[in-house]
Amino acid sequence: MLGGHPEHNIPGVEVSTGSLGHGLSIGVGMALALRHPSSLITRSIFTYPRVFVLMGDGETNEGSVWEAALSAGKHKLSNLMVIIDYNKMQVYGPTAKVQDLEPFSDKWKAFGFATTEVDGHNTGEIKRTLEGLPLESDKPSVIICHTVKGKGIKKIENDPSWHHKRGLTDEEIKSLYKALEDY
């Protein structure tokens, strides 16, 4: 069901985007629309409609991401929640070498976001953070989830060649499941 890019035919995914940096721009527009008094959603059963944007860290090398972040901060979109998989790896290699993102959290703060960082492999910590959203009542929120790409399978951890891996044999798939079981 999950491919390389999220597609709108997947339940819960409203827009097909991917790693091109469009998701945050679309999310900002949706969050702004939800604040408008004539919005059909604001008159529905939801007491606090929110927009969630899931992003990868490599995607944040796109200029459109930072333009959208500036706009979200300017409009104090407290109904906008951004979750970033910060594995410090993108298709071409480590983000530090492709286009360094540090100081990552400080950049989001400078753009007007309430910011927190979590262990992206700790589902309890993520759940508690999500339950506490928005982080501040007058700012958009960003949750930076520190992760390890391919975590749990030592031979693929932090290996960019697995970013778009396809055509695995049944035997290779079995060995990957075995590695996860042994983890």
pLDDT at 42 over 80: no
- Output the pTM of the full model: 0.85
Q: Answer whether 142's CB lies under 8 Å from 54's CB.
A: no
Domain spans of the chain, in order of start: 22-147
| Structure token pair of residue 103 | 């100081």
Res. 129 pLDDT band, cuts 50 70 90: very high
- pLDDT digits 0-9 by tens, 150-181: 898 888 888 888 877 778 899 999 999 998 88
Outline where DSSP puts E strands in 1-67.
51-56
According to CATH, the topology of domain 22-147 is Rossmann fold (3.40.50)
76-127 pLDDT tens trace: 999 999 999 999 998 878 999 999 999 999 999 999 999 999 999 999 999 9
Phi then psi for 173, rounded to 5 degrees? -65, -45
First to last CA, the chain: 25
pLDDT at 9 over 80: no
